[in-house]
Amino acid sequence: MLNQNYKCAAEASEYQDCNEQDVAKVTTTPYSDSEPHPSYVKSILDILKKFWDAFFLFTSPYAILGQTLGVLSASLHAVEKLSDISPLFLIGVLQVAIPFSLLGIFVAGLNQLTDIEIDKINKPYLPLASGKISYTTGSLVPAFVIGSRPLILGLVSNCLLWMAYSVNGPFLRWKKNPFLAAMCLFSTLAIVFPISSFLHMQTFVFKRSLAFPKSLISAVIFMTLYSIGIAFCKDVPDVEGDEKYGVYTFAVLFGRKRMFQICVFLFEMAFGVAFLAGATSPFLWIKLVTGVGHVILASVLWYQAKSTDLTSKSSMISFYFSIWKVGVKVSDSISAFSERFCTSLEQCALSFLYS
């Protein structure tokens, strides 16, 4: 048909009876394969943005960032002198943080994959529950490539714990048992993350003999109380969905209000432990920083708890996110510097003043 139209147009002067509407009108526009159509580029960018937004929710970013800062904090306990803060130290931190982040994505995906129906009630905004994306996992390969035994042990332990928490099977699906569910989060935040990170830096990166500083012990006690509070508080907004599907958490068994009060009490106890740990330091500036810092943080958390509406799911979820911001990201970092490092820092300052 197109060829006929071209022929008709070419012979228009000879055949006047050729209908003008049958003549193909060809408009020439410059085209380049290297310059895709703007609408095509926009659609690609929209797809990438939607995928990134869904993946961001999928990974539980507040938990990933919190555990990354926890890894950094635990690694600082192995620092004894200023020269330890070096490219070697940064590489060691990345060796822990990257595999744990990948594993965190795996754990988040596994938990969401096994709880799609419950999340449709409790957390309908999650990408798996809303049907935005399918399933993505992390990897243990980096840890085995690095070859650090503490790192491998920490990652494998964390993986096994959260598989037992999420997967349906004989003696598994620990999240249905409130005690075992709390133990999973406590074991991860208070033991696996800080101790494996510290041992990796102390024995694998710095090649030093095993010794646990007082600051690490204080951090473990703090995170024990705080992580148990997080474990209990995590289930407070999810009472409806958990009760419907037979997941009898402490919030379901004892009521939302009572468990919320217990959680706040545990958080305040954790800040009290951190305050006492700082108060026993021989360094005045540590006493001031940790003392004032933890009083402020405890007050902020108390105020947020008092302003939380237990009848509003969005209000309770907002409080839960603030727990990670206030506790894991800030307080553990304040407690990170060991007395050996502070002694070295003070000696450097004195030598600078008197030089």
257-272 pLDDT per residue, tens: 899 999 999 999 988 8
Q: What is the pLDDT of residue 117?
A: 64
- Ranges assigned E (strand) in 105-216: none
CB-based burial of residue 311 (10 Å sphere; 0-12 exposed, 13-18 middle, 19+ buried)?
Answer: exposed
CA–CA distance, 292 with 268 (Å, rounded to integer): 14
**Amino acid present at 190:** A
What letter would DSSP give residue 213?
-
Interval 208-233 mean pLDDT: 84
C-alpha angle with apex 69: 65 to 74, nearest 5 degrees?
145
Structure token digits, residue 330 = 């800030």
Place of tokens 């960032």: 65
Report pTM. Answer: 0.60
* pLDDT, tens only, 307-345: 898 888 888 888 888 887 776 555 555 555 555 555 554
**Amino acid present at 354:** Y
Q: Which is more confident, 60 or 206?
A: 206
Contact (CB, 8 A) for 110 and 167: yes
CA–CA distance, 294 with 334 (Å, rounded to integer): 9
